[in-house]
Amino acid sequence: MTDGQRLFVGGVWVEPDGGHYEVVDPATEGTVGLAPEASRDQVRAACAAAREAFGPWSRTRPEERAAVLGRAADIIRARLLPYAELAQAETGATTGTARAMQVGVGAARFKRYARVEPAEWPIPPQINEAGHGGTSHALKAGGEGKAGVMGAVAVRQPVGVVTCITSYNNPWANPAGKVAPALAMGNTVVVKPAPQDPLSVYRMAEALEAAGVPRGVVNVVSGRAVEIGEAAVSSPDVDMVSFTGSTAVGRRIAEACGRDMRRQLMELGGKGAAVVLDDADVASAVAGIGTTFAFYSGQICTAPTRVLAHRRVYDQVVEQLAAYAGRLKVGDPRDPDTVVGPVISAAHRDRVESYVELGRKEGAVVVAGGERPPLERGFYVAPTLLADCTNDMRVVREEIFGPVVTVVPFDEEDEGVALANDSDYGLIDYVWSSDVARAFRVARRLRAGGVGVNTVGRNMEAPFGGFKKSGVGRDVGSYALHAYSEVQSIVWPG
């Protein structure tokens, strides 16, 4: 890429006030392209453009908004290969992941919201006795002694301008999961992509522009400076912030939103517990847990990184997980045989490695991995398994966000549940048991926004979000339409 990427503000591609910075390929350490560094004024201009566009866009027919999203999905699918190549270069994802889980899921999310769902639903009539239920003013006007029947309808209304701050691990699925339902509900958006891989999000903006999205409805601003995100959160033109990222950053955003009573949707960190009961199919559990090593190289908040194995199957779980990790090929994500690609940056590789060393010092046993792969270039971490852990170790309690799995033994079912719940996080947990009724019983006791029973798969209509420090709110499927809307009650005399 010779020319630097421009910002997308008010339907116009504009040069960034702060110049450009290099986006680095984590596999080759080469330059992917030049990303724009916006100024605070440009971020404010993007928010103002979204505010100006909100009125007309919110008043368009839902069918028209859906048609734009459908066309965007078709454009993304038609350009899947070049888009996936860029996503792979920015993130280090394997080819299959870049095509299917990044661009493919991004297109699917636009297509999902390219259908119109009811935005209002009736509420059963209520019979109000005289002088009760808020009818006193009407009664004073001459209706004393009369009961009333009150009808009502609940209506979903758009929130307004939504700032979408997205994560680096999936520059397609994550922003699409915010932008598509927000637009479907009639909101306008300002997208602030992760600084490590923003170029893919600008391709998404191009697809939306080609699909006919009106000027100002979608805006994209990027930058490495903290003040860029702060400006996108604190602008008086912004009504809601949707954020995916670390709990630490989410806390600061929540504090800023709280000062102005601004709506927020937070999908934050995770330390998913995988409870392997004594009657579990160990091979199935290992295959599910092993996806942590491969999927985004462990850079995913939903990963089952904290294994709690019943003492009867503990040795089998450790032995089979170690063998599983040892079979995975680490290397160039463009090689079709590669299973584990790089992590996002040199700094993040160093962070993950420091956690492995910390685990050793805390008394964990490194039974797989633990060393840097012998590759000339790229930010690689070997799939690593830490056994004989205890729940008070930092490697067990803190989100590492890399291909590292810890294993903690337990003796009784109640102990396993207690260990799973003894966490600051509560995004997605997992249970493995050959007794499905038992697994469901345990699942209901887990303090997590989602629980996988004998699977790490997802139902993309099921609500997604976390308990505790893993987030606030729910999205995905119809729940995202609720997340990006305000509910208005309209009441009338029957």
| Residue 129 DSSP one-character state | P
Q: For residue 443, how many other CB atoms are within 10 A of its CB?
A: 19
β pairing state of 161-165 and 240-244: parallel
Q: Which helix (H) or strand (E) holds 149?
A: strand 148-158
Helix/strand/coil (H, E, C) string of 297-336?
Answer: HHCCCCCCCEEEEEHHHHHHHHHHHHHHHHHCCECCCCCC
Q: Which helix (H) or strand (E) holds 99?
A: none
What residue has token string 């509420």? 123
164 is catalytic: no
227 is catalytic: no
The four Cα atoms 21, 22, 23, 27 give a dihedral, to 10 degrees, of -160
Q: Which of 90, 206, 209, 267 is catalytic?
A: 267
Which residues are bridge partners to 126 per DSSP?
Answer: 150
Q: For residue 125, how many other CB atoms are within 10 A of its CB?
A: 11
The stretches of 211-310 forming alpha helices (DSSP H) are 226-234, 247-259, 282-289, 291-294
**Strand blocks (E) in 144-286:** 148-158, 161-165, 188-192, 218-220, 240-244, 263-267, 273-276
Q: Which of 257, 301, 353, 399 is catalytic?
A: 301
The rounded distance, in Å, linking the Cα atoms of 238 and 263 is 9
Catalytic residues: 267, 301
